[in-house]
Amino acid sequence: MIDTKSDFLTSFKVTASGLAAQRMRLNIIAENLANAQTTRTPEGGPYKRRDPVFMSRPFQDFLTREQAAGATGVAVDRINVDQRPPRLQYDPTHPDANADGYVAMPNIDTVTEMVNMMSASRSYEANVSVLNASKAMALKALEIGR
């Protein structure tokens, strides 16, 4: 048995959290792609791939201040730094090349990033369409008795 009292803001808030999380993911993918050739970082060494870790988060209802059953949002729990070894590329003329002439390049696979980018953008779109549906339902409710 669950309490059915919840306002329309619940589904808006849940969807907003989904949009924010997917945008964050997209930002991190952009960062990865921008740094695909970065061999120098403030912490030293080549850039390391980053990946957000999502976590579901329960919401409180706006009016009742009670937890809305089942309607959990999503949040970025932490940003994981990929610890896989850097890709070694032979380029003796590069200033960061080691004694053997190999340069440590970031552990980024452009194809993986592109696929992730498409996935993030599709998920974002899905959340947008949920937002529109929730809005349409809320507006429809205002038509009762008209």
Partner 1 sequence: MSDFGLLGSSGAFKANLLELRKRRQDIIAANIANADTPGYKARRLSFEEELSKTLPRGDELPMRRSMAGHMPTPFELEDGEIQEVETAIPKGDMNSVDLEQEMSRQTANQLLYNYAVQSLSGQIKKLKMVIDGQ
Binding site for partner 1 (CB under 8 A): 1-6, 8, 10-11, 14-15, 17-18, 21-22, 25, 53-56, 68-74, 119-120, 123, 126-127, 129-130, 133-134, 136-137, 140-141, 143-146
Question: Dihedral sign, CA of 38, 43, 49, 50?
Answer: negative
Toward partner 1, which CB reaches closer, 26 or 103?
Answer: 26
Q: Provide, rounded to whole angstroms, the least separation between the CB of residue 48 and partner 1.
A: 21
Q: Which is nearer to partner 1, 6 or 39 (CB)?
A: 6
- Least Å from the CB of residue 121 to partner 1: 12
- Please give the single-letter amino acid code of residue 38: T
- Phi then psi for residue 66, to 5 deg, are -100, 160
Q: Which residues of 23-62 are buried (b: 16+ CB within 10 A; e: fewer)?
A: ebbbebbeebeebeeebeeeeeebbbbbebeeeeeebebe
Least Å distance, CB 136 to partner 1, is 7
